[in-house]
Amino acid sequence: MEQLLNDSRCITRTNLKLDGITSVYHGKVRDVYVIDNKLMVMVVSDRVSAFDVILPRPIPYKGQVLNQLAAYFLEATRDICSNWMIEVPDANATIGVLCKPYKVEMVIRGYLSGHAWREYAAGKRIICGVPMPDGLRENDPFPEPIITPTSKSDHGHDVDISAEDIIRQGIVQESEYRQLEQYTRALYARGSKMAREKGLILVDTKYEFGWANNRVFVMDEIHTPDSSRYIYLEGYEERQRLGQPQRQLSKEFLRQWLITNGFQGLEGQNVPDFPDAFVQEVSERYIELYQKITGRDFLKDESPDPVRRLEENINRALKPLRAGI
The string of pLDDT tens digits covering residues 122-164 is: 999 999 999 999 999 999 999 999 999 999 765 556 799 999 9
Domain that holds residue 152: 101-253
- Decide: 92 and 316 in contact? Cβ < 8 Å: no
* CA gap 181, 179 in Å, rounded: 5
Residue 41 inside a domain? The answer is yes
Domain membership of residue 90 (yes or no) is yes
Q: Are 28 and 43 in contact (CB under 8 A)?
A: no
Residues 156 and 16 in one domain: no
Give the Cα separation of 191 and 91 in Å (integer): 22
CA 206 – CA 219 distance, rounded (Å): 11
Residue 271 maps to a domain: no
Domain for residue 29, yes or no?
A: yes
Percentage of the chain lying above the pLDDT 90 cut: 81
Query: Is the residue at 1 inside a domain?
Result: no
Of the candidates 64, 41, 27, 272, which has an alpha carbon nearest to the alpha carbon of residue 158? 27
**96 and 117 together in one domain:** no
Segment 13-42, tens digit of pLDDT: 999 999 999 999 999 899 999 999 999 999
pTM as predicted: 0.91
Q: Is residue 236 part of a domain?
A: yes
Distance CA 227, CA 114 (A): 12
Chain centroid to CA 318? 25
Rounded distance, CA 157 to CA 159, Å? 6
- Domain with residue 309: its CATH number is 3.30.200.20
Q: Are strands 150-151 and 141-147 parallel, antiparallel or unpaired?
A: unpaired
**Which amino acid is residue 61, in one-letter code?**
Y
